Amino acid sequence: MVKRIILFASGNGSNAERICHFFRQNSTVSISGIFTNNPKAGIIKRAKKFEIEVQVFDKKEFIENQLLKKVAALKPDLIVLAGFLWKIEESWVKQFPNQIINIHPALLPRYGGKGMYGQNVHNAVKENKEKETGITIHYVNKDYDKGAIIFQKKILLTDNDSAAQIAKKVHDLEHRYFPSVIAKLLMEAPNEV
């Protein structure tokens, strides 16, 4: 039985690209759709080499659930937020319980919540002179960055690491671990009857 993944990305899309690359020759996993809220998102270009069309949606479609219906029609096994920056509505969590996962560029519960995304997170980590940071992959529930944690990986920081260097280290970790964590989750997911 083929497992279907739907990707959501808002910006650069390097994680989404890694995921497409990781599964490109896997006949048991299909990337059934990529969605973005940003008509200028880097993922639109990146997805071309995998011949996957990226669908752009607006706030209205998102809030009023037209998008939810469209995604549900694709019967995804897993919805993956790979740098998606809008808060997920509760209707989505109800429709896809434990089927939506997110990657966060820090060790949750630290550095999570509203406003804590992308470079903002790394700037705060630097400002607080943290000795370590990392990545968290977690289920999405109705509260920002508060769903059950699936996977975390730590890296050590030095006083010399700039916020940009911290971002690079974290991105490298994301690229290294996110696709295989997804693969593992899909293997554990029950097949449709």
Q: Give catalytic residues, as residue numbers.
A: 104
* Residues numbered 1-60 forming contacts with ligand GAR, rule: CB under 6 A: 9, 11-15
Minimum gap (Å) between residue 152 Cβ and ligand GAR:
12
- Helical spans, DSSP H, in the chain: 14-23, 42-46, 59-63, 66-73, 90-95, 118-127, 163-188
Minimum gap (Å) between residue 12 Cβ and ligand GAR:
4
Contacts 24+ apart (CB under 8 A), 96-101: 98/139, 100/139, 100/140, 101/137, 101/138, 101/139, 101/140, 101/150, 101/182, 101/185
Interacting residue with ligand GAR among 8, 23, 117, 139 (CB under 6 A): 117
Piece in contact with ligand GAR (CB under 6 A), picked from 65-73, 87-95, 100-108, 153-161:
100-108
Interacting residue with ligand GAR among 33, 83, 134, 147 (CB under 6 A): 83
Interacting residue with ligand GAR among 33, 76, 105, 179 (CB under 6 A): 105
Piece in contact with ligand GAR (CB under 6 A), picked from 26-34, 47-55, 99-107, 183-191:
99-107
Interacting residue with ligand GAR among 47, 80, 82, 157 (CB under 6 A): 82
Q: What is the x/- site pattern for ligand GAR, positions 140-159, by CB under 6 A?
A: --------------------
Question: Distance (Å, rounded) from C-alpha 62 to C-alpha 68?
Answer: 7
Q: 33 has which bridge partners?
A: 6
- Sign of the C-alpha dihedral, residues 154, 160, 162, 163? positive
Pick 17 or 77: Cβ nearer ligand GAR: 17
Minimum gap (Å) between residue 81 Cβ and ligand GAR:
7
Question: Distance (Å, rounded) from C-alpha 116 to C-alpha 4?
Answer: 29
Note the Cα 68 to chain centre separation in Å. 17
Question: Distance (Å, rounded) from C-alpha 72 to C-alpha 92?
Answer: 10
Q: By CB under 6 A, name the binding residues for ligand GAR.
A: 9, 11-15, 82-83, 103-105, 117-118, 171, 174
